[in-house]
Structure 1
Amino acid sequence: MKKLLPILALLLIAAPVQAQLEETTIASLSADLASGRTSSERVVRAYLKRIAAMDRKGPRLNSIITLNPQAIEQARALDAERRAGRLRGPLHGVPILLKDNIEVAGMPTTAGSLALVRNDPGRDSPVAAALKAKGAIILGKTNLSEWANFRSERSMSGWSAVGGLTRNPYALDRTTCGSSSGSGAAVAAGFAPGAIGSETNGSVICPSSMMGLVGLKPTVGLIPRTHIVPISHSQDTAGPMARNVRDVAILLSALIASDPADPATADAMAHAQDYAAALDPAKIRGMRIGVLRGGAQPELLARYDVALGVLKGLGATLVEVKKPAMEGMSAASYDVLQYEFKADLNAYLATTRADQVPVRTLSDLIAFDVAHADREMPLFGQDIFAMAQAKAGLDDAAYKAAREKSLRLAGREGIDAMLAENRVDLLVTISYGPAWPSDTVWGDQYEGPGGSTGPAAIAGYPHLTVPMGLVRGLPVGLSFIGTAYAEQTLLDAGLAYEQASGIHVRPTFRPTADTGPELEGNRP
């Protein structure tokens, strides 16, 4: 019996890891590692086993493009550091996934495109370097909407030529939204406790909302963008995605840095802090929260009314806010993105290795896609690429005018005006409606109720989404939006709502959201 005790102890330690992966958080995993209830190596092996069983098999989520071949070895090294008393913080030994437009040495960074399938210049982005420095294990790279959903107006979110179609764990025939599709699906499915996505407009918030996660699009300039495949230096930012607000705060705290190669981050360290340690849900009492209305689906609006009731019950004062017209904001921003995509992508491609990446400019990329149309463009084309290629340089007067207009309407005359005129601390609204069907004919269907990301994305302001419940079995999110560097306020309010609402529903991996007796009739 004595000989069996060590074996039984190991089994008792390992069992919770496998049994609870869908519910494991960064904070709970960090505590288990600290107490010795598990090890980083054991955790990594458990996640890899689950990924092998469910990402390419089982429900076949297609959420991960590449796994880190050194993950187990790195886990062992971090376990050894822990035994030696060298701890790097709450991420020590915790597996994290990164969107496959963020460079990590030793793994290709494809942006979902066959043109970048061998793109491994052997360098870490500041995002990857920061996570590694804090002891996180980069478990792998997640699938995404190809080129971060900036190739065609008829695109299908979650699809890339490299990774295929990412499927929503709540209903496999429904969109994951995007472009951080794989990051959202993987965390929702229990393939890692957290992931890093990126957003230009909606790419963290939308997949988080539609897959029952907390997602934060931080203030542009808090997190360096160097060695992240770009769309727009005005709007791009990496952002954390996880199961709860505290985990998102832990990840945010680890990523903030000033980077000489990214001028937008010049003031980042002035705002660096431990956002998780500073969390205080009691601060919602007495907050003035501006309520934005929108959408028409009755069940979604009913969910929103319940959420507003929770906030009011917590002691917040709710103020009805009328959204300014912001006429021309979106069109001006779209122009900005096209100008900056051409300039920023050309600059990025110039830093890749010519022996790995056959395209050196956007013009080359357009030609590459035409030459490989059977694999690159089976579902939609590259009309946005063509529009961007036709744009002039960043010294063009039309570009400067569009940037000034979009920034003014979204920021000073948009979010800032709503906050100031109504004397509110933050704004709250529906993040997005429930996920639409993945549609190979029509592509994405953003016209549904919800969709709150534009002003904060264009202004470069923070935006947090927190699960608000289910509509017909599909997750919907509640958005908290503030002015620049208001992350702590949003996180405090989000945590208060999260704790009071108690909402978290496991994905069921059902084949479709559309089955039911109401579709089959009532024949005798």
Structure 2
Amino acid sequence: MQRRQFVHSLAGGLAMPAESSAVIGATAVPAAAAATEDEALAYASASELQAQMANGTLSAERLVRACLANIEAIDRNGPQLRSIIELNADALPLAAALDVERRDKGPRGPLHGLPVLIKDNIATADRMQTTAGSLALMGAQAPRDAHLVARLRAAGAVILGKTNLSEWANIRSTRSTSGWSARGGLTRNPYALDRNTSGSSAGSAAAVAAGLAPLAVGTETDGSIVSPASICGLVGFKPTLGLVSRDGVVPIAHNQDTPGPMARSVAEAALLLGVLAGPDARDAATRKAPSNVNYVLQLDANALRGARLGVVRSAFSGNDRIDPIYERALELLQARGAVLVDPVALPPPERYAESELTVLLYELKANLDAYLAEFGQGSAVRTLADVIAFNEQHRFREMPHFSQELLVRAQALGGLKSRAYLDALANNLRWSRREGIDLALRKHRLDALVAPTGGPAWLTDTINGDHHGAGFSTPAAVAGYPHLTVPAGYVNGLPLGLSFVGTAWSDARVLSLGHAYEQASRHWREQSFPATLQIEA
């Protein structure tokens, strides 16, 4: 079944207005026509939607109704992506109020009236839950919005809902199934429903790829934005650590956690980043963050001319079906004027694989306890120890597929003054920054590194857990440096992403390089939600 059949099958359903009609501006249209328009709006860009609202042919309320209808048809029914864990019951009245404001005062900015989905580990002081996918946090009442949510609201965005995720952002078990949470179930991949979405921002990626909303916010500790974005054929951007505040975000590790935008184009990701980014007194890492930067204006379709890019050959898979796609991407970069330094070496991941996990677990215990003390009110838990006990008590619902050995290991550790923690952190920064990315960029006079983001989506396996191949997320994640993934092509219909990585605070340059590649390649495509891959014999 194609997308339009899903949407038309639910015309006049719960997401439609009364009397089976929808409103565009002041014009009522029949439900069947509304369903057709819902489909047309599904993949419209943020700039196209904003232009329609500016000229009066579309209202924010109508746009939100279209998103709700598409969610009902595709996320709740049809292919049942399960990408959205909860809808904002106030989205329609908020959109209507923003329409009135536009009419009376004009728009607040380029996000005015646009629906945005946020990951269910980002706190909102409204009727929605913030649970990180865990039943343990059901009932928690956020005392205030996360900093980034407050910025979205101030910019006039409509928080449409919360997206599903890998529970606890994939820090619970070494044998997890990405995209699964006890609260939301399993998020399914729009490119092949039996394939994994990767994690942990699985729902944000799947929802935007399926056209359920134009923009979404994910979070990353190591790969949780760029990997699901790559696997779902999207643009995903992990900014420099501290560019976007982590206040109000369920934490893992303060030396690696960051929210970031997920969208269908670099321009849309840059648009969203411009609203998310800025200093916050509650997050010391943001003290150097520039504010009020227009990242869209800094995009340059000719940015590749003369740019020096280092090719990280060690990130290539050796798969003769996949590597040629990336070789063509490199050829395109050269054709657009880039100078490739090929290869460029980075320290092998083994240099800091163990120390990375050590830092994550030490910081998880300290950070989560602090978060729960403020944002856990009303839930059954206040500490990591409470979470572990809750999971054991509710094992049938919380741990039907995998356990919580990483949480248990974190709980057994000491504080952040422990020698083991400090040594691990120093090792991480040495091999990821000083003798890693920064050394490579300086030695070869590079603007950025390029590499495959990772492989294609794997078959979901709830018995053995994830079995993805190599990826390129770890160097930038451990260093806290910007990492952009852009669609690079397809293998058997499954997307692959190309990564651009720079040094600290080079976010605008990295986005511009990726934008120039995207404008030359144009690999993004709409979805038809096949149950499985149709592989030719």
Instruction: Kindly provide the amino acid, as one letter, of the partner of residue 53 in structure 2.
Output: L
Shift of 1:305: 0.7
1:330 maps to which of 333, 337, 353: 353
Which residue of structure 1 lines up, in the alignment, with residue 73 of structure 2?
53
Answer whether contact 1:326 1:410 (CA < 8 A) is retained.
Answer: no
- 1:512 equivalent in alignment to 2:526: no
Please give the secondary structure, in 2, of the residue aligned with 1:240.
strand
Does residue 298 (structure 1) correspond to residue 320 (structure 2)? The answer is yes
1:37 aligns with 2:57: yes
Taking the aligned partners of 1:493 and 1:134, their CA distance within structure 2 comes to: 27
In the alignment, does 2:148 pair up with 1:123? no
Equivalent of 1:340 in 357, 363, 366: 363
Alpha-carbon shift at residue 328 of structure 1 (Å): 2.6
1:185 to 185, 203, 206: 206
**Displacement of 1:422:** 1.2
Contact 1:14–1:38 under 8 Å retained in 2: no
List structure 1 runs of 4+ shifted beyond 3 angstroms: 6-17
1:198 aligns with 2:219: yes
Aligned residue type for 1:259: D
The partner residue of 1:471 within 477, 481, 491 is 491
- Paired with 1:15 and 1:33, the residues of 2 have a C-alpha distance of 19
Instruction: Give the match for residue 216 of structure 1.
Output: 237
The reply on whether 1:248 has 2:262 as its aligned counterpart is no
Is structure 2 residue 307 aligned with structure 1 residue 284?
no
The 3-state SS of whatever aligns with 2:80 is coil
- Structure 1 position 64 matched with structure 2 position 84: yes
The equivalent position to 1:491 in structure 2, one of 493, 498, 511, is 511
In structure 1, distance between residues paired with 2:25 and 2:504 = 53
Q: What residue in structure 1 maps to residue 337 of structure 2? A: 315
Task: Write the letter of the residue equivalent to 2:141.
Answer: D
Distance of aligned partners of 1:7 and 1:88 in 2 relative to their CA distance in 1, 3 Å threshold: closer
Residue 373 of structure 1 pairs with residue 372 of structure 2: no
For the residues of structure 1 that align with 2:227 and 2:328, how far apart are their CA atoms?
Answer: 21
Using the TM superposition, give the Cα deviation of residue 37 of structure 1 relative to its aligned residue in structure 2, in angstroms: 1.7
The alignment partner of 1:359 has SS state of: coil
Aligned mates of 2:138, 2:506 — CA distance in 1: 38
CA distance in 1, matches of 2:289, 2:495: 33
Say if 1:53 and 1:69 are closer, same or farther in 2 by CA, change over 3 A: same
Could you give the per-residue CA deviations for residues 21-54 of structure 1, whole angstroms, max 9, x where no partner exists? 3421212111111121211000000100110111
Q: Output aligned runs, 1:94-133, within 5 Å.
A: 94-106=114-126, 107-133=128-154
Give the secondary-structure state (helix, strand or coil) at the position aligned to 2:68. helix
Aligned with 1:445 (options 467, 490, 499): 467
Q: Does residue 153 of the first structure (1) align with residue 168 of the second (2)? A: no
Deviations 1:200-220 (A, max 9, x none): 000000000000100000000
Cα pair 1:222 1:268 within 8 Å, conserved: yes
CA-to-aligned-CA distance 1:71-117 (integer Å, 9 cap, x gap): 00000010011111331111000000000000111111010000011
2: CA distance, partners of 1:86 / 1:348? 38
TM-score (norm 2): 0.92
Structure 2: distance between partners of 1:101 and 1:145: 10
TM norm structure 1: 0.94
8 Å contact from structure 1 (residues 22, 188) kept in 2: no
Amino acid at match of 1:246: A
Matched, 1:430 2:445: no
Contact 2:39–2:70 (Cα < 8 Å) also in 1: no
Query: 1:138 and 2:145 equivalent?
Result: no
Q: Secondary structure at the match of 1:266?
A: helix
Corresponding residue of 2:283: 262
1:55 aligned counterpart, secondary structure: helix
In 2, the alpha carbon distance for the partners of 1:436 and 1:162 equals 23
Matched, 1:399 2:421: yes
Secondary structure, aligned partner of 2:222: coil
Structure 1 contact 22–506 (Cα < 8 Å) conserved: no
CA contact (8 A) 2:230 2:454 kept: yes
Instruction: Determine the structure 2 residue equivalent to 1:3.
Output: none
Counterpart CA distance in 2 for 1:272 and 1:480 is 24
Q: Deviations over 1:107-160 (max 9, x none)?
A: 110100000111222411011100010000000000000000000000000000
Alpha-carbon distance change, 444 to 128 in structure 1, aligned in 2, over 3 angstroms:
same
Please, which moves more after superposition, 150-159 or 83-92? 83-92
CA contact (8 A) 2:25 2:56 kept: no
Q: Is the 8 A contact 1:113 1:146 kept in 2?
A: yes
- Paired with 2:536 and 2:241, the residues of 1 have a C-alpha distance of 47
Residues 337 and 85 (structure 1), Cα distance of their counterparts in 2 relative to 1, 3 Å cut: same
Amino acid at match of 2:247: T
| 1:349 aligns to 2:369 (yes or no) | no
Is structure 2 residue 499 aligned with structure 1 residue 454?
no
CA RMSD of aligned residues (A): 1.7
Q: CA deviation at 1:353?
A: 4.7
Tell me by how many angstroms 1:441 deviates.
1.2
1:386-436 per-residue CA deviation (whole Å, 9 max, x = no partner) reads: 110111000111111110110111011100011111111100000011000
1:286-323 Cα offsets, whole Å, 9 max, x none, are 00111112211112101101111111010011111122
Structure 1 residue 16: Cα displacement: 6.9
Structure 1 position 11, deviation (Å): 4.6
SS in 1 for 2:303: helix
Contact 1:27 1:246 in 2 (8 A): no
State the Cα distance separating 1:488 from its structure 2 match: 1.1
Task: Say which SS state the counterpart of residue 215 (structure 1) adopts.
Answer: strand
Task: Give the number of aligned pairs.
Answer: 508
Structure 1 pair 430–353 and aligned structure 2 pair: CA distance change class (3 A): closer
Unaligned runs of 5+ in 2: 1-23
| SS of equivalent residue, structure 1 residue 260 | coil
- Distance in 2, matches of 1:262 and 1:381, equals 32
2-side partners of 1:111 and 1:403: how far apart? 26
In the superposition, relative to structure 1, how do residues 103 and 7 fare at CA in structure 2: closer, same or farther (>3 Å)?
Answer: closer
Q: CA offset at residue 197 of structure 1?
A: 0.3
2:295 aligns with 275
Counterpart residue type for residue 376 of structure 1: E
Does 2:522 align with 1:502? yes
**Preserved CA contact (<8 Å) 1:40 1:78:** yes
Counterpart AA for 2:201:
S
Question: What fraction of aligned residue pairs are identical, expressed as a percent?
Answer: 51
Q: Distance in 2 between the 1:495 and 1:133 partners? A: 27
| 2:307–2:338 Cα contact (<8 Å) kept | yes
Give secondary structure in 1 for the equivalent of 2:421. helix
Unmatched runs of 5 consecutive residues or more in structure 1: 1-5, 519-524
